[in-house]
Amino acid sequence: MSLSKQQINELEQNLLKMKKQLEEQQELREKDESLQESTGEISSYDNHFGDMGSELYDREMAMALDENQEETLEDINEALQRIEEGTYGKCVDTGEEIPYERLKALPYAKRTVQAQEKADEEGKTDDYEIGEPSFVRKGEGKYEDSRMQSVDEIMETHGNASNKGEDA
């Protein structure tokens, strides 16, 4: 069953409210960051390594949150665009109707639950596929970290000082 105009209007208002909140949060964070930068210490000479580690962790956490909010904001803008185009509430992969209950919980959903699960399994997110992380290689049905090798594997690959010249 298609969404009614009243349901679409309600969901659009929710999307606009979410968008406004995210934009306000971004603005506050940007002001906070610029204030931190202007009052920050010039040198880290007298800082303890633990303090610098905590500061790095805090910055990485803030960056991850920023990235997540930017992605959510992008999803919200795409949902608002779909409302304008008249395609809101239809799965972008299958064309099936997205249930109102799902849209009420996640107004910027672009897929049905089943299509989203399939996209997640295939490693697809939106317009691109997730590639293999740089240090990871496929092993026998599992991922292995190529940085983690046993001594035997390293010697087999690179040799050692005592047998290095034997092959030459």
Q: How far is CA 82 from CA 12, 17, 87, in A?
A: 10, 17, 5
Residue found by looking up tokens 């910027």 in the block: 108
Q: Is pLDDT above 70 for 168?
A: no
pTM > 0.85: no
Confidence of residue 113 (pLDDT cuts 50, 70, 90): very high
Torsion-angle region of 115 (φ positive above 0: left; ψ -120 to 50: alpha; else: beta): alpha
- What is the predicted pLDDT for the residue at 149? 62
Minimum mean pLDDT range among 61-70, 81-90, 115-124, 159-168: 159-168
Q: For 34, phi and psi rounded to 5 degrees?
A: -70, -35
Confidence of residue 58 (pLDDT cuts 50, 70, 90): confident
Residues 149 and 155 sit within 8 Å (Cβ to Cβ): no
Q: Is pLDDT above 60 for 98?
A: yes
- Tell the burial category of 88 from Cβ atoms under 10 Å away from its Cβ (0-12, 13-18, 19+): buried
Residue found by looking up tokens 């929710």 in the block: 14
Domains of the chain, by residue range, sit at 5-35+52-129, 132-168
More confident residue, 166 or 7: 7
Q: Is pLDDT above 60 for 144?
A: no
* Among the four given CATH numbers 1.25.40.10, 3.40.50.970, 1.20.120.910, 3.50.50.60, the one describing domain 5-35+52-129: 1.20.120.910
> Which residue, among 144, 143, 167, has the nearest Cα to 155 in the 3D structure?
167
Q: Is pLDDT above 90 for 115?
A: yes
Q: How far is CA 66 from CA 25, 33, 63, 72, in A?
A: 10, 12, 5, 10
- What is the predicted pLDDT for the residue at 166? 53
Structure tokens given for 69:
């909010």
Instruction: Tell me the mean pLDDT in the region 6-19.
Output: 97
